[in-house]
Each structure stands twice: as structure tokens, then as C-alpha cells.
Amino acid sequence: MSRVAVIGTGYVGTVTATCFAWLGHDVFGIDVDANRVYQLAAGQVPLFEPGLAELLTEATTTGRLTFSVDMSDIAGAQVVFLCVGTPPGVGGAPDLSQVESAAHGIASNMTDGTVVVNKSTVPVGSGNWVRTVIEEALPRTGGPKFSVVSNPEFLREGCAIEDFLYPDRIVLGGENGSPKKVAELYAPVLAQSFPGGRPERQPQLIVTDLPSAEMVKYAANAFLATKISFANEIASICELVGADARQVLPAIGSDERIGSRFLQQGLGWGGSCFGKDLAALIATAVDYGYSAPLLRATTDVNQAQRASVIRKLQAALKVLKGRRIAILGLAFKPGTDDLRDAPALEIIRRLRSAGVIVSAYDPVVKQLSDADALGVRMAADAYDAADRADAVVLVTEWDDFADLDLDSLKRSMTGDLVLDGRGAIDPAAAEEAGLRVTGFGW
């Protein structure tokens, strides 16, 4: 087994370090955030991700996984993963300052033959840039030899462990045989030879050049975001002409060339990836004189879905000022506590601006930032959130909400309107309970 260093212990870094250690490698997780390092070293996961805490505890108990704030701990690591943040910068292009800082730290501590693996989502060309940053920090002669590989991550929040251990594909970009060294780390995953592996569905190993691997990540997320926005565009037209998107979209998705996944109408996408990656890809295109109109439209349609919530509420309730409205679901998707670009937060801000009294409940998210919490009553459960509400807006499709006692929900409310942004509530059962359900595309 190999000695591996993972720089950055955010969402991707923690999952990567934990899973590689669980597979049997000796892994060092390194971060400048001392509090996070101490938490992880104590077996405490500072984020919500099903199954991660159990694997982390097992890996740290065996001693295969340790955490540190000291970059010198990467010495002797054959492979160093860069998993630092790349937040949006000016004009949509990502801020690569954390990547640059980590590259300087690697240059000061790596040994001969180190493979630097860029797992952070970075613009096309960043692999060459990272190589140059490291080279500039090394002596012109006699310095350690190293190579750079791109290994984009495809981890979905809420099922990241599943995605790491049972991926559709592992993409590695690089030259001179360097991807092969990284592929060896993934050998148990590629062969599905670890305990609980699924040999019947072995992942595909895809080896490309550096820029192509970097492009794969952006292109994949852009396609998924576009597919969602396409579904919502069709749903909007369905509403205008009297068609039912709940019948139209499954019929479209039954075509194997199209597929049903990500082809659902609703409130659109959120989270830390789609919006950021689309903005970065558009910014890259602009750098080369191309406007990327389809990608811009994908973003515009998604933003329009959030605004349509207010229009639908206005159409049903007329004046919103002074109304009570309950929001069910705050995280951008079920299975996570991530609020980054969460549709619920934008909807809440719009409602507050309209003079609405807002209550909210989420099974996992129990508090908001000071700015977002202003004017929001955090409820103990869905029925508490709906107390005296004129309307309920279902934003995140947690399983809890599909199993709501609709009679109890109606008794809690003053009004009877439920705006179902995710198609999670049975309209017939809701009608029987005395509720009016309004959705998207029908």
C-alpha cells in the first residue's frame, strides 16, 4: 500500500482521505485550519455525510489515517492530492489562491518522484500552471522530480462514500505514465476487490491528457445542469399550453438516448458545484472569445425557477405582505446540510423582502447564519413550521416530507396552499386532506 497525503480537509478532502485510508493506504490529511484538524483527529466529522463518520472512526483507529497542520508531513508521500477550495472569484473565474499556496507547500516538502494530483475543480490549464508554480519554487537544478495529474472528483453530497467506492468512472489526466501511479491507488476500487465490492459492475478507468481531464469535470456538471434547466423550460411551457410535465418528462426520459435521471421539473439546482462550475466554464470560454450562450441560458432558467415561487404565491394569495409562509427544507438537496446556493435561502430572502413572516424546518439544518436567520423562525418539525401558515413551500425533497401526515399539516395551517417544488407530495392525498397542491409544469 502507498503513503498518501491529502491537502485540504473540506468535503472532498475528508472523503478522499478517509476512503483511501479505509482501503488500506497510509494517509495524512493536512489543513491550515487547526480546529478542523483537531476535530477530525478526534473522529468528529464537521459536516453531514451519511456513512463518513463510521469510516473515519475505523480509519483513524487503525492508525492508517492521521491529520495535521504541518505541511512537512507530506515528505515521503508518493502521491499528494490537492483538495483545497476554489471559490468563485471575479467574473466567475475560480479563485486559485489556495491551490497556489498548497503548491508552494508541496514544493518545500516533497521527495523525488512525487505525483501531485489536482482533485480540486480548477480551470482547464491549471495542471500546467501548478507544475510551473512548483518548478518556480524549486532549485533550477538538483531539485526533486515530480509529475502532475488531474483526477476530477464526481462526489455527490449525500452519497459521497458510495460515489467514491462505486464510481461509474475514474478519470486521470497526465503524461509520461504518471496516471498509472495514481491508478494503482484506486486498484481495489477498479477491481471492486475490497470488502463489500461489487465485481459485477467494475468502474471504467479513463486516461487522458491533462487539459482533457480538467474539462471532463466542467463538461459533466454543465450537461447535468443543462438537463435540469431543460426539464424546467419544458415544464414552464407545459403550464402555458395546458400539458402536464409529470406526464411529458417521463415519456421523454424513456428514450434511452435521453434517460430519465436529472429530467425532473421543480425548483432547479443549487449547491456548491453546478453554479460555480458553469460560471467558470463560461469565464474560460469568454477568455477565448466565445460567449457560451447555452450555458448562460442554463443559469438564467435556473434562476427563473426560484423567482417563479414568488409569482405562484402571489397568484394564489394576492398580497404577500403580512402573510405567514412555511419553508420545508433548507439544504440544497436531501442527504446533506450544505446551504451553498440553496434555493431555499434565495426564496426566503425574496419572501422577507415582500413582507412575509417566514418559518422553516429542515431535518438536518438546525440553524442559519446570522444574515440568513434574520426574520426566520426555525421550527421543531414540519407541523410547527406550518403553524398558522397561509401557505407551505416544499423546497427540499427529504423522505420525511413524502411521509407527512397531511391531515395534521392542514390542521396546523390557517390557509390550505402547498407549493410543492419537488413533486414529493401526492396531490390526491393532499386534496383529501383539504389541501390545494400547486407544482411546476402542471
**Could you say which DSSP state residue 145 is in?**
P
Q: Which residues of 164-203 are buried (b: 16+ CB within 10 A; e: fewer)?
A: bbbbeebbbbbeeebbebbbebbebbbebeeeeeeeeeeb
Q: How far apart are the first and last CA of the chain?
A: 55
**Could you say which DSSP state residue 26 is in?**
E
The single-letter code of the amino acid at 237 is: I
Q: How far apart are CA 57 and CA 22, in angstroms?
A: 10
Q: For residue 399, give the nearest of 418, 415, 382 by alpha carbon.
A: 382
Q: Which residues of 345-375 are buried (b: 16+ CB within 10 A; e: fewer)?
A: bbbbbbbeebebbbbbbbbbbeebeeebeee
Cβ atoms of 165 and 202 within 8 Å: the answer is no
Whose cell is 439544518? That residue is 365
How many Å separate Cα 153 from the centre of its chain?
11
∠ CA 410-416-418, rounded to 5°? 95
Q: What residues pair up with 394 in beta bridges, in sequence order?
A: 328, 420
Q: Is 234 helix (H, G, I), strand (E, B) or coil?
A: helix
Q: How far apart are CA 5 and CA 65, in angstroms?
A: 10
Which of 19, 83, 238, 273 is catalytic? The answer is: 273
Q: For residue 105, give the nearest of 3, 2, 7 by alpha carbon.
A: 7
Cell of 239: 403550464
Greatest CA span in the chain, whole angstroms?
79
Q: How far apart are CA 149 and CA 6, in angstroms?
A: 14
Q: Kindly list the distances between the CA atom of residue 391 and the CA atoms of 267, 360, 386, 438, 442, in Å, as whole numbers in the listed order.
A: 17, 12, 8, 11, 19
Catalytic status, residue 273: yes
- Residues that are catalytic: 273
